[in-house]
Structure 1
Amino acid sequence: MCLSQLQSVRLAAVLEDCSDQLAILRHTLTVQMSRERGAPAAQERARLAKLRRDCQYIWQQIFNLHLELDEKQSFRSILHLVEEVEQKKEAEKMRREAKRQLEIRQQTLRTQQDEFKEKIKQLKELNQVTNNLKQQMNEQSLQIADRQKLMEEDTELQLHLTQKKTRKTEKLLEDQRELLEKQLKVEASAHEASQKFLQNQHKELQQQLQLWQQRTKQMLQEKEQQLNNVRCKRTVNLDKLSHMRRKFREMEQVVMEDREEQEKLCIQQAEARAATKLQAWWKGCMVRRGLGSFKKTQDNKKGKKKKDVKKEKKK
């Protein structure tokens, strides 16, 4: 937008007056900063230094606008400045939003860390339970082995006793047979009642022998049944142990996955901090060296423009 020459001159006069007032204000702030002494005044000096920098910045923008009015009779630089300010505000808003998002992520990360600690605690408890179960399984295995050994010894002892009794009975029968044969030879005229008595006694002895054999078989069957039950219980306990081991492996995998996610989050945060530091360092280099938008105007050019403005005012 272009202005007339008269409007440009009037606006230039107003800007020159503003520039002088800003120079006076800046000098006043410098004097106040030099008067502030001691540690309590450090905050006040920092505030005055910020005000002085703001005055310097405003004075620079007024000077640029003054030059533009003298050369082009327009004020586009102030429009550009307004746009830059709006962009800075937008950037500041985005920065605040990013900071808020970062705080939310940090809160989420803390929550995940608490959950991770809780899972580790549960895993330790499961490990303790697993160790207790292993100890109980070992104790049960030892008890089962002792019981099997005792049962085998008892079975062998009973079989030995049964065989011994059977042998005695057979020997007794043989002795009785020999005795009967002798008596039959000696007493040929023995009556039939004695023969029947001996036959009946022989039958009873055979029945007792059969009864002992049946009892022995029954006892062997019972012991085999008990042994099979013990084996079944052992199989069930082994299945439970394998199930607990599978659960332990699954929970260990979950813990490893959580740990990998935590490491990825830490790497992402470190990268974000490194990028922020790099941007701040680059901006500081731009400001210190006066590059890009931070480039300063030459002092001799400023002096010449002031002289031209004063000459026009005298005319």
Structure 2
Amino acid sequence: MSLSRTQSLRMAAALQDCSSKLDIVRLKMQLSREPAAQEKVRLAKLTRDCQYVSLQMSKLCLELEEKQSFISLLQAVEEEQKQKADVKRREAKTELKYRVQALQTQPEELQIKTDKLKDMDCLCRDMKKRHKEQSKIADKKKAEERTAELQLQLRQKETCQAEKLLEDQLELLQKQLKEEIMFHQESEKFLQNQHEELKQLLDEWEQRTKRMLQEKEKQLNTVCCKKTLNFDRLMEMKRQFKEMEQVAMEDREEQKKLLQKQEEVRAATKLQAWWRGWMVRRGLGSFKKAEENKKGKTKKEGKKKKKK
């Protein structure tokens, strides 16, 4: 089937919109948190399906824009149906294989069950034998318990004797403790006296240190005051130095300007003198009239002399 140009363009635009939405969904699935194993498989399948659908949509858009038809869509549907049929065939084949394997393993399982039953019978016989042996062991234990009671009585006597010895040792220890307590009290008094003496020395040293600190603080304050005064003087001297330096710079600039003006005046006078000399030598400008006047006067004087 062929479509008109407008219909094909509308369908292409709609398909492009759908493909962009599918891309967004695929990206969201990829950026989602790490899921469980089953959800991972499902998400992977969904992403593959989205990629396949977007690819088919792009092909269909190109076909609509170029040929105004949707043959690729029909071909994709046919391929999908063929793939589904192939998958169903494969699944049927696998099910048949599993059934054949199950039928083959049934006699083996029956044999295993019979073997288990035989083992259970053997276990029951062993349990009966063990029960008889345990009854014999219980009789032996009773005899051992009687001997253990006799041993306990002997141990009780021994413990009574040991307790008497311990009482004697405790009395000796109490005497030693009393002597040690007396010695400890005397040493404690001696230490208290020494502690009081050390306290007095410490108080004296604290008073001395306080006086020393006060004197040092006074000296520090005087040094700080002198430092601030010297700093102020230094800043004032710097300011004066800057002013004098600025005045000197201005004086130098003025002297340079004066020298430049003097040189300009000298150069101008030299140029004027050269120009006047050149004009006089050439007889140009105002100097030409002066020369003509001089020449006229010399000619008139010569004629007067001739007349005479």
* Same fold flag (TM > 0.5): no
Structure number with the bigger relative contact order (C-alpha 8 A, sep ≥ 6) is 1
Larger Rg: 2
